Structure 1
Amino acid sequence: MDVYDTDSEDELPAGWEERVTLEGRVYYANHSLRKTQWEHPLSGKKKYVAGELPYGWERKVAEDGQVYFIDHINSKTTYTDPRLAFAIEEKDGRFREIKQRFDAGTSALQVVKGRDLTDNYVIVTGANSGIGFETARTLALHGAHVVLACRNTTKGWAAVKAIKKERPQAELELMCLDLCRLSTVKEFADQYREKHWPIHILILNAGVFSLPHTLTDDGYEATFQTNHLGHYYLVLCLLGILKESESPRIVTVSAESHRFTNLNDKTISEEQLSPPPEYYRAILAYNQSKMCNVLFALECHRRFAKFGITSNVLHPGNVISTNITRHWWLWKVIFTMVRPFAKSKVRKGSKIRNAAEGLEILAYKIP
């Protein structure tokens, strides 16, 4: 009996290779013994792949009948079918789906892998850094036309250039959006309407954390207006376009900290959401704004589902180390200390990792 040095029954022993026929059946080739078989050499499983190839991939057949795959985006050729990660297992003569598992080590690109988002128009607020940037980048790399809605256009252009450097043909548009000024929110919506573009995905991602007490030009506390009120008004201004678009969805980025507030239908008031300086607590203001995000997303679903609009709200992961901690040195220290034990947006090669749960909503709901 052969013993293989492997921790997974799906890992292939040395000398074996996993391939796919033109019909999508998975087979295993042993180069040492020069033989092939349908069953996995360790688990005995039979598999099958289905569905379209990922965005940018093409299947070819060589003169000798060998099937190979071209990744036009990265200019690479391989004999490995990129759909193998999502293979279907044959059991009792039938095929059942093997669900792909996501965890803290899963990149956004891995979650959305296999999705062709061509002709999808997406707006991402706060797309110049952090989770917003990686969300915009990932969707753009899969063919979506992405609008980066940013307050700081200088940083916004830097984000556009970074994505364009990776994919020159990426369809990107930078538009100014300052959630702390409701007048610019309306201007953004008016300018977008003039482009006659649909909205397939509206991602309400922009946010601030641990701000000192500050009033916006509209007279509201800045954390409350940036994280919630500005997004609320943005949806209202874009509602007509959303109703006219095909299968539109609103994705709101909230946080687990929404649980740590006494905000409810009996205590909610403008004074509580936008308190005077003497009653202001930065962390409480953030938690309350995240609670408002949750309530808003649920209400959007209740009111707009009849128009075909889907509304989702998500928690992106605990204490993800992004530039959101820039307003107080102590938060920077805390986030740095817990970084080894929490989700991170940084991965080898300076590429950014997003929280898998957030993009999983997109991956499984985008047609």
Structure 2
Amino acid sequence: MHIVVMAATLENIVDTDSEDELPPGWEERVTFEGKVYYANHATKSTQWKHPISSKKKMVKGDLPHGWEMKISENGTVYYIDHINEKTTFTDPRLAFAEEIVEAPLDFRQRFDGNSTGMQVLQGLDFTGKYAIVTGANTGIGFETARTLALHGATVILACRNVEKATEASQKILAERSTAKLEVIALDLASLKSVRYFADTYKCRKWPLHILILNAGVIGLPYTETEDDLEMTFQVNHLSHFYLSLLLKDVMIDSQPARIVVVSSESHRFTDLSCENISEEKLSLPRNRYNSMSAYNTSKLCNVLFAIELNQRLLPLGVTVNALHPGNMMSSDLPRNWWVFRLLFAIVRPFTKTMQQGSATTLYCATVPELQGIGGMYFNNCCRCEPSEAAQDGKLATELWKISNKMLSDRSFVL
């Protein structure tokens, strides 16, 4: 088999008006779901609109007879022409791409900090859609899972405590007996458990349209996991990193799909940078451990991971966004230290309810206006700028490399 790399310009495919020809250095590509996008090799950027005509296009229908779509190990999509025994990176259906005529999107803010998850999902039906919510047995995670289930989705409660997760699912079923709920054990303090969860999910042959990385811990005394890592870092970042990569192929096959990473405004209060990032900086040793520093760093990792993962998966039909759910809500998050419990109890009358806390998560996971849009950070159902560190592409790349190394050093190879 030999590979033929083809620059997919409309000029060399069909006769068209000049406005549809691509400028030098541009290439036309297609996502899994058939949406056409344009890659600028000079700036190494992509966009949905044609660089000259500003048209949006889409390919429809099956591949021509004798053609087959494949994905390489690094995620690159290519096409095999079995009749002519050739391979190309260009979708043969591009010759017949159709223009997308769509109404202008209304980006006026529909929801805010007072909105509830139920309000965000009002009028939406997720029958036939599958969603995983980590930490779904309590707090924001429970309200997120409950709201999705009440709107038709099949929701998998991924929790360490299966008994509490089962009780949570029974509460939802008492509210709506037809709700579709599953409980699968997931202990984020164990990479072995993460792998077992992913293998179990794949064995069920279910699709996966929404993955919500909600679970987290704060205020822990210094604790090491069975993987010899500091607990806060592993639970809040590394295990979610591992879970996402283990399930990404299922999501690509189910696309369009979305991954939602629950972070925090606390991501702004850490000194993590390209100059000091290391395994020891991320997974703090006992003699340098501070619970709030560990939490803040893990929350920055959440945003960096979301933006980096979105760059890698967006062309394959999976978008990733991060968010802050709300300030000091009365959830089970501060259960590990009495000082946090007292402080959260004092401010409870002035903070969001759990339903309000689920709103931004559900906004990122479901609303039509975010279809195909990722790599952003949200607060109160509105896009906002994360910290400068969170927007540092080099820092995100370094975090990705170190996270991968931590997994491979422990024989958890992706």
Q: Same fold (TM over 0.5)?
A: yes
Who is 2:266 aligned against? 257
Return closer, same or farther for 1:113/1:302 CA change in 2, 3 Å cut-off. same
Q: What does the per-residue CA deviation read over 1:84-103, in whole Å, with 9 as the maximum and x for residues that have no partner? A: xxxxxxxxxxx997957433
Query: By how many angstroms is 1:129 displaced?
Result: 0.4
Distance 1:291 1:100 in 2: 26
Match of 2:249, SS? Answer: helix
Distance 1:187 1:277 in 2: 29
Whether 2:221 is the aligned partner of 1:218: answer no
Q: What does the per-residue CA deviation read over 1:231-290, in whole Å, with 9 as the maximum and x for residues that have no partner? A: 001011112211211201110000000000001222111111112211100001000000
In structure 2, what residue type is equivalent to 1:195? R
Distance 1:96 1:330 in 2: 46
Match of 2:125, SS? Answer: coil
Aligned-pair RMSD on alpha carbons? 1.8
Distance 2:107 2:300 in 1: 35
Q: Tell me if the contact between 2:141 and 2:358 (Cα under 8 Å) persists in the aligned partners.
A: no
Distance 2:305 2:147 in 1: 26
Distance 1:324 1:112 in 2: 25
Match of 1:106, SS? Answer: coil
Distance 1:294 1:259 in 2: 10
Q: Tell me if the contact between 1:128 and 1:159 (Cα under 8 Å) persists in the aligned partners.
A: yes
Match of 2:182, SS? Answer: strand
Who is 1:203 aligned against? 212
Return closer, same or farther for 1:263/1:100 CA change in 2, 3 Å cut-off. closer
Whether 2:106 is the aligned partner of 1:103: answer no
In structure 2, what residue type is equivalent to 1:332? R
Query: By how many angstroms is 1:361 displaced?
Result: 1.8
Return closer, same or farther for 1:195/1:279 CA change in 2, 3 Å cut-off. same
Aligned counterpart in structure 2 of residue 139 of structure 1, from 148, 161, 177: 148
Aligned counterpart in structure 2 of residue 337 of structure 1, from 323, 346, 349: 346
Q: What does the per-residue CA deviation read over 1:293-312, in whole Å, with 9 as the maximum and x for residues that have no partner? A: 00000010111111111001
Distance 2:298 2:213 in 1: 13
Q: Tell me if the contact between 2:258 and 2:365 (Cα under 8 Å) persists in the aligned partners.
A: no
Who is 1:359 aligned against? 362
Mean CA deviation greater in 333-342 or 187-196: 333-342
Q: Tell me if the contact between 1:298 and 1:311 (Cα under 8 Å) persists in the aligned partners.
A: yes
Match of 2:260, SS? Answer: strand
Whether 2:318 is the aligned partner of 1:309: answer yes
Who is 2:243 aligned against? 234
Q: What does the per-residue CA deviation read over 1:25-79, in whole Å, with 9 as the maximum and x for residues that have no partner? A: xxxxxxxxxxxxxxxxxxxxxxxxxxxxxxxxxxxxxxxxxxxxxxxxxxxxxxx
Whether 2:153 is the aligned partner of 1:150: answer no
Who is 2:82 aligned against? none
Distance 2:128 2:306 in 1: 25
Distance 2:164 2:199 in 1: 23
Q: Tell me if the contact between 1:209 and 1:283 (Cα under 8 Å) persists in the aligned partners.
A: yes
Q: Which runs of 5+ in 1 are unaligned?
A: 1-94, 346-351
Match of 1:299, SS? Answer: helix
Distance 1:104 1:201 in 2: 23
- Higher RCO (CA-CA < 8 Å; seq separation 6+): 2
Match of 1:326, SS? Answer: helix
Return closer, same or farther for 1:276/1:313 CA change in 2, 3 Å cut-off. same
Aligned counterpart in structure 2 of residue 188 of structure 1, from 184, 197, 208: 197
Mean CA deviation greater in 130-139 or 331-340: 331-340
Q: How many residue pairs align between the two structures?
A: 267
Whether 2:290 is the aligned partner of 1:287: answer no
TM-score by length of 2: 0.62
In structure 2, what residue type is equivalent to 1:124? V
Return closer, same or farther for 1:99/1:332 CA change in 2, 3 Å cut-off. same
In structure 2, what residue type is equivalent to 1:299? E
Return closer, same or farther for 1:243/1:218 CA change in 2, 3 Å cut-off. same
Match of 1:119, SS? Answer: coil
Distance 2:362 2:259 in 1: 13
Distance 2:199 2:107 in 1: 45
Q: What does the per-residue CA deviation read over 1:217-237, in whole Å, with 9 as the maximum and x for residues that have no partner? A: 000000000000000010111
Rg: which structure is higher? Answer: 1
Q: Tell me if the contact between 2:130 and 2:209 (Cα under 8 Å) persists in the aligned partners.
A: yes
Q: Tell me if the contact between 1:104 and 1:355 (Cα under 8 Å) persists in the aligned partners.
A: no
Who is 1:18 aligned against? none
Distance 1:125 1:98 in 2: 29
Q: Tell me if the contact between 2:259 and 2:365 (Cα under 8 Å) persists in the aligned partners.
A: no
Distance 1:97 1:279 in 2: 49
Q: Tell me if the contact between 1:255 and 1:315 (Cα under 8 Å) persists in the aligned partners.
A: yes
TM-score by length of 1: 0.70
Q: Which runs of 5+ in 2 are unaligned?
A: 1-103, 372-414
Q: Tell me if the contact between 1:134 and 1:353 (Cα under 8 Å) persists in the aligned partners.
A: no
Query: By how many angstroms is 1:159 displaced?
Result: 0.5
Who is 1:318 aligned against? 327
Distance 1:98 1:250 in 2: 21
Q: What does the per-residue CA deviation read over 1:176-227, in whole Å, with 9 as the maximum and x for residues that have no partner? A: 0011100111111111111111110000001001111000000000000000
Query: By how many angstroms is 1:360 displaced?
Result: 1.8
In structure 2, what residue type is equivalent to 1:263? L
Distance 2:115 2:229 in 1: 38
Mean CA deviation greater in 242-251 or 333-342: 333-342
Give the 5 Å matches for 1:62-73: none
Aligned counterpart in structure 2 of residue 245 of structure 1, from 249, 254, 265: 254
Return closer, same or farther for 1:329/1:164 CA change in 2, 3 Å cut-off. same
